[in-house]
């Protein structure tokens, strides 16, 4: 009988264990901590939507809609699509779930998204995003708050060498005038443009500015820049003044664009040079016309997204989870005492693991590798006396303590370790 080959993972997906998984969840934990500082509330949206939700909000002509979406026919709902991003689903929920009563809404979410594209460094077909949105406010202060949220997240993750690139897409009037000027400019060079850019010329000329094709770059670089209306100039000035007040450095980039017509005013990217050509780690902008594109009223909004995998790759420090107590029972009766001890410690918020097999020396080594602060050795005598051998692994000091004293010692030592780690982080940020 021939044994079949084990199943292989689907191309562009990954499974995580150990340190890579801990880095991944460290990013999420940091995101949740920082979003609470800024008053962003957690939301959840479905992992799939009607295909039209994404086609209408992302544009029929974009590569994501035309080439990269995972779509399939549902038995009862017609064409549905696994979400390629979060914003469209949040906008749909805003309209259909009665969220209008909560404006302005500051919301945050994270989870998987799906795009059928060529896998590359930090980019997968099933990938994971952090997402933050503010819906229902046209105040430039909201843009500043959102940018400050992103900047603090990257700082607390310890990701260095990141530059904030900033631009304005103007208001509707400014953008319409700029679009006409771009069409005139690129039309004069139509025969010299790439095939993709010739296709985009009438439908989406702003996307030519983003083209990486060397045939397009000279004309993109010489393209006219946007001439802002006085209202758009004032809005952008308030955003820049707010960033200055928050101490957030930025570089103006007049070629940073968003191709879809519902984008307005602020556009931004946090970029690193540590991931090659695909250096954007967090990006977003103001999309005041998106909810209208879904058939709703005019509702101003702004948001950003960041790839969890890419952020996890950029972490420079050890984020491995470490236990606080390793419990080593010696003998059958001690195993029950170890279960009781572990239960007591965990009830007090102290992480504990039982190392029940192997020679004592090997178990001590495993406890040390797990990052334990102390080993608690329980033998027959300890079961009888209720005094367990408590060994501080860093110093090697060992003493007999009852459970109450063990709990007190571990609480103190865990607090000391946390303080040392915090001070080390402060040193890294200096």
Which strands, in side-by-side order, build the sheet including 352-354?
352-354, 325-329, 374-378, 388-392, 398-401
397 in a labelled binding site: no
For residue 122, give the nearest of 235, 281, 7, 301 by alpha carbon: 281
The maximal CA–CA distance of the chain, rounded, in angstroms, is: 93
- Exposure class string for 277-311: b at 16+ Cβ within 10 A, else e: eebebbbbbbbbbbbebbeeeebbbbbbbbbbbbb
**Helix, strand, or coil here: 363?**
helix
124 is in an annotated binding site: no
Residue 115, marked binder: yes
Residue 78 main-chain phi, psi, to 5 deg? 75, -150
Helical residues (DSSP H) of 45-159, grouped into ranges: 51-58, 63, 87-96, 140-156
From the list 279, 287, 268, 285, the residue with the least C-alpha distance to 307 is 279
State yes or no: 262 annotated in a binding site: yes
Question: Where do runs of H (alpha helix) occur along 222-271?
Answer: 230-246
Residue 258 assigned as binding residue: yes
Residue with tokens 């969220």: 99
Nearest residue to 314 (alpha-carbon basis) of 162, 430, 428? 162
Q: Is 164 helix (H, G, I), strand (E, B) or coil?
A: strand
- Whether 87 has a binding-site annotation, put simply, is yes
Q: Is 398 annotated as a binding residue?
A: no
Confirm if 135 and 104 have CB atoms less than 8 A apart: yes
49 is in an annotated binding site: no
Phi and psi dihedrals of 244, rounded to 5?
Answer: -60, -40
What are 1's two structure tokens? 């009988």
Residue 381, annotated ligand binder?
Answer: no
Residue numbers belonging to the annotated binding site = 85-87, 115, 129, 133, 258, 262-263
- Which residues sit in the known binding site for L-histidine? 85-87, 115, 129, 133, 258, 262-263
């Amino acid at each position: 009988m021939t044994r079949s080959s084990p199943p292989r993972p689907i191309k562009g997906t990954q499974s995580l264990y150990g340190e890579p998984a801990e880095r991944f969840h460290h990013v999420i934990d940091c995101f949740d901590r920082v979003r609470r500082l800024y008053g962003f509330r957690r939301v959840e949206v479905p992992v799939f939507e009607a295909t039209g939700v994404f086609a209408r909000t992302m544009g029929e002509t974009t590569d994501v809609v035309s080439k990269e979406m995972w779509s399939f026919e549902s038995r009862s709902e017609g064409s549905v699509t696994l979400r390629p991003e979060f914003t469209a689903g949040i906008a749909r929920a805003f309209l259909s779930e009665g969220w209008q009563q909560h404006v302005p809404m500051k919301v945050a979410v994270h989870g998987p998204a799906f795009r059928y594209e060529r896998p590359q460094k930090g980019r997968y077909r099933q990938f994971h995003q952090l997402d933050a949105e503010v819906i229902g406010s046209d105040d430039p202060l909201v843009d500043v708050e959102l940018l400050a949220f992103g900047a603090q997240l990257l700082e607390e993750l310890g990701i260095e060498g990141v530059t904030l690139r900033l631009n304005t897409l103007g208001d509707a009037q400014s953008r319409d005038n700029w679009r006409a000027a771009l069409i005139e400019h690129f039309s004069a060079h139509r025969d010299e443009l790439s095939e993709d850019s010739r296709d985009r010329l009438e439908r989406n000329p702003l996307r030519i500015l983003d083209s990486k094709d060397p045939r397009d770059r000279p004309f993109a670089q010489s393209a006219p820049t946007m001439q802002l209306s006085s209202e758009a100039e004032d809005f952008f000035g308030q955003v820049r003044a707010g960033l200055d007040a928050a101490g957030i450095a930025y570089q103006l980039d007049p070629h940073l664009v968003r191709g879809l017509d519902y984008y307005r005013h602020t556009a931004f990217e946090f970029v690193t040079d540590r991931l090659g050509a695909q250096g954007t780690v967090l990006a977003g902008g103001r999309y005041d016309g998106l909810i209208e594109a879904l058939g709703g009223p005019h509702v101003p909004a702004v948001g950003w997204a960041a790839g969890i995998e890419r952020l996890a790759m950029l972490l420079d420090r050890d984020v491995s989870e470490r236990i606080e107590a390793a419990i080593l029972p010696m003998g059958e009766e001690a195993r029950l005492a170890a279960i009781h001890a572990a239960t007591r410690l965990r009830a007090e918020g102290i992480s504990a693991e039982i190392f029940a097999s192997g020679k004592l020396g090997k178990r001590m080594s495993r406890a040390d590798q797990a990052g334990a602060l102390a080993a608690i050795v329980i033998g027959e005598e300890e079961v009888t006396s209720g005094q367990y051998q408590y060994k501080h692994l860093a110093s090697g000091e060992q003493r007999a303590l009852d459970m109450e004293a063990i709990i007190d010692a571990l609480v103190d030592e865990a607090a000391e370790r946390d303080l040392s780690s915090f001070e080390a982080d402060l040193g890294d940020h200096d």
